[in-house]
Amino acid sequence: MLVRFWGTRGSIPVAMSSAEIKRKLVAALVQAAGRGLHTAAQAREFIEHELDFAVSHTFGGNTSCVQIDAGHRDYVLCDLGSGARVFANSIMATRGPTGHTFHVLMSHMHWDHIQGFPFFMPAYIPGNRIRLYGCHERLEEALRRQNAAPSFPVDFSRMGADIEFVRLEPGCEYEIAGLAVRSKVQRHGGDSYGYRIERDGRSVVYSTDSEHKQDDTDEVRAFVEFFREADLVIFDSQYSLADAHSVKEDWGHSSNVVGVEMCQLARARRLCLYHHEPTSDDERLAALLTETRRFEEITRAEHPVEIIAAYDGLEITL
């Protein structure tokens, strides 16, 4: 099973500023001085192996969209944030414009999780099939309203693909494109739903836009079971724990610290920090990853949890 991240940012898409790009270039050039990098291959080697991630890469700015690729001919996505546009363009460029089937598991209908759909080009092309799965009663209404005047010039009714909405029952298991899929309600404005996806003994949990109240022991126990021994937990770590318990309490997001603790309790294999705070630049997110790895290290009992930070373009093989 391969997990591809097309959008990893929370709340709103962001783009790097000229000042940030200049900072990266200055840092890279200073570090490269005197290194005798005369060819593109030498420069690439230097960038890949010697520069820090925050200098040589970016975490990216597209909002939530994750692809679960288990080798099935159909495509499976979690959410339709702005990353879905990049995914769709990639499929059309490499596999052609039509004849595709897409299955999309929707966590909820906040803008940052649906805003990629008006720009999801396969939706406008006859011969494509799109199945939108979710636990919310008003999922179809939310997507139709987004593709309608006065918010958008091309109405939903002009989408030429065969589009179907499929209501899921939380806690029930479904087979979707060869994957076993189960959803769980999460604490978020208007509710959100996490998905546990399994195939051939491998499991990934997609759990974003989910606030955790650690003193609610029943809730903690339910999430620990949902995450139990997962190979990968994709976790909403938008806030610091202090913010989540103070000024941003009840805003519906969680923290790196709670992610580590939940994965330790669940004996999950990997924790992937996700739904990054839009005000965090690459240096801040790289520091968050370092701190989270340190937190896992100093709080570890006997079960180690590998810590990863998602970025647009990251691929993880389970």
Partner 1 sequence: MEVIAKRLADTLVLSPAGRIDHATAEVFKTALAPSLAGCAAGRDCVVIDLASVEYISSVGLRVLMLASKQAKTQGGALGVCALQPVVREIFEISRFHLVLQVFPTLRDALAKLSAEALAAHDAA
Per-residue binding string, partner 1, 225-244, x by CB under 8 A, is ---------------xxxx-
Backbone angles phi, psi at 7, to 5 degrees: -150, 130
Select 90 or 246, whichever has its Cβ closest to partner 1: 246
Our finding on whether 219 is near partner 1 (CB under 8 A) is no
Our finding on whether 277 is near partner 1 (CB under 8 A) is no
Are 195 and 182 within 8 A, CB to CB? Answer: yes
Our finding on whether 279 is near partner 1 (CB under 8 A) is no
The set of residues, in sequence order, having a beta carbon less than 8 Å from that of 188 and lying 6+ positions away, is 108, 209, 210, 211, 252, 253
The set of residues, in sequence order, having a beta carbon less than 8 Å from that of 44 and lying 6+ positions away, is none
Select 175 or 215, whichever has its Cβ closest to partner 1: 215
Are 76 and 103 within 8 A, CB to CB? Answer: yes
Our finding on whether 177 is near partner 1 (CB under 8 A) is no
Backbone angles phi, psi at 304, to 5 degrees: -80, 145
Distance of CA 269 to the CA centre of its chain: 18
Select 198 or 296, whichever has its Cβ closest to partner 1: 296
Our finding on whether 146 is near partner 1 (CB under 8 A) is no
> Given candidates 53, 165, 174, 295, which one binds partner 1 under the rule CB under 8 A?
295
- Structure token digits, residue 105: 């598991």
Interface region with partner 1, contact rule CB under 8 A, candidates 57-65, 115-123, 135-143, 290-298: 290-298
Are 91 and 37 within 8 A, CB to CB? Answer: no
- Rule CB under 8 A: which residues touch partner 1? 214-215, 217, 220, 240-243, 245-246, 255-258, 261, 291-292, 294-295, 298-299
